[in-house]
C-alpha cells in the first residue's frame, strides 16, 4: 500500500523537474516522456542516465499528478503538495525475455549424403540434392571401358549414376531474444495468460516505463519456413516481477 511523506530534497527535485519539462498534464512522468525526464535529471541533478532512481522519481511524479484535479491553481502537483503530502507509490520491476519484433533468416549449407543410404539426400534435413555430375559407363565389344556424361538423365535412366552432388542451401528462420526491463505502478501485468510483451508495452505512456532493452546472447533454434511460426514476434519466454517500493522509500525519504 502506498504511503506519504518525502524529504525536502526529493520534493525540490520533483517540483523543479516538473517545471523544467516541456509537456502538459500527460506522459510517463506526469507531464513529459521518460526520455526527456531522464535527460533533465541527468543534466541538472547529476544523476546517471542509467540510474533506477530516475525511474522512481518519474513514477512518483506520475502517481501524484493523477491525484491533482483541474480545479487546482497550478499545473505542477508539487506546487500544491507539501513534502509530507507527496504520495510514495508502489512500484514494480519486470524482467522479461521475449522475441524481437522481426525474425531473422540465415543460410545453412546442408552436406549431401554420398556414403550411406539414402544417397542423394542432405544429411541434416533430408532434402533431395541436385546432381552436379552423372556418369553412364560400361565396356564395349573389345572390352574397352567407356564413360558418358548423362547429367540430367539419371532420374530416367537406370544406367545413369550420379557421382557428384551439390550441397543443399536451406533457409532457416529464427527469433532473436531480447532482455528487457520495465517499471510500472501496476502489478501482475503479465498474469492472466498474457504471453506477449504487448501486455506491458500497451500501457506505456500510462503507468509503465520501458527502462532498458538489449538483444540477449540467445535466439531460437533455426527452422525451415514450413515449421516456423512467423506470428511468434514479441512472444515472452521468461519473466519475473519484483516489488521495489522499499527502494523508492529509501530514495525519497533519504533513509540509510
Residue 171's pLDDT band (cuts 50, 70, 90)? very high
Could you tell me if 161 and 65 are in contact, meaning their C-beta atoms sit under 8 angstroms apart? no
Provide the 10 A C-beta neighbour count for residue 159.
Answer: 12
pLDDT in tens, 41-87: 999 999 999 999 999 999 999 999 986 655 454 689 999 999 999 99
Supply the pLDDT for residue 22: 73
Supply the pLDDT for residue 204: 64
**3-state percent helix, strand, coil for the chain, nearest multiple of 5:** 25, 30, 45
Phi, psi of 252 (to 5 degrees): -80, -25
For the chain, give every domain's residue range.
Answer: 3-92, 94-106+173-242, 108-171
Element of type H or E holding 138: strand 131-139
Q: What is the mean pLDDT of the chain?
A: 89
Supply the pLDDT for residue 66: 83
Q: At a CB cut-off of 8 Å and minimum separation 6, what does 49 contact?
A: 38, 39, 42
Amino acid at each position: 500500500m502506498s504511503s506519504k511523506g518525502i524529504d525536502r530534497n526529493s520534493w525540490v527535485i520533483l517540483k523543479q523537474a516538473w517545471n523544467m519539462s516541456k509537456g502538459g498534464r500527460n506522459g510517463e512522468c506526469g507531464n513529459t516522456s521518460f526520455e526527456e525526464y531522464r535527460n533533465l535529471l541527468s543534466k541538472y541533478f547529476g544523476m546517471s542516465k542509467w540510474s533506477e532512481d530516475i525511474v522512481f522519481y518519474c513514477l512518483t511524479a506520475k502517481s501524484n499528478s493523477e491525484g491533482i484535479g483541474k480545479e487546482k491553481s497550478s499545473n505542477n502537483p508539487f506546487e500544491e503538495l507539501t513534502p509530507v503530502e507527496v504520495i510514495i507509490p508502489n512500484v514494480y520491476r519486470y524482467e522479461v525475455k521475449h522475441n524481437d519484433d522481426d525474425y531473422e533468416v540465415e543460410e545453412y549449407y546442408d552436406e549431401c549424403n554420398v556414403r550411406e543410404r539414402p544417397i542423394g539426400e542432405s544429411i541434416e534435413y533430408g532434402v533431395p540434392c541436385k546432381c552436379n555430375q552423372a556418369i553412364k559407363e560400361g565396356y564395349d565389344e573389345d572390352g574397352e571401358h567407356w564413360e558418358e556424361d548423362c547429367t540430367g538423365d539419371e532420374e530416367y535412366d537406370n544406367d545413369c549414376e550420379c557421382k557428384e552432388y551439390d550441397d543443399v542451401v536451406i533457409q532457416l528462420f529464427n527469433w532473436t531474444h531480447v532482455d528487457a526491463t520495465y517499471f510500472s505502478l501496476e502489478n501482475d501485468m503479465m498474469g492472466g495468460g498474457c504471453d506477449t510483451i504487448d501486455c506491458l508495452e500497451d500501457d506505456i505512456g500510462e503507468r509503465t516505463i520501458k527502462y532498458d532493452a538489449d538483444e540477449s546472447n540467445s535466439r531460437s533454434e533455426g527452422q525451415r519456413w514450413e515449421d516456423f511460426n512467423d506470428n511468434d514476434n514479441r512472444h515472452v519466454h521468461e519473466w519475473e516481477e519484483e516489488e521495489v517500493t522499499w527502494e523508492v522509500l529509501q530514495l525519497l525519504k533519504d533513509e540509510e
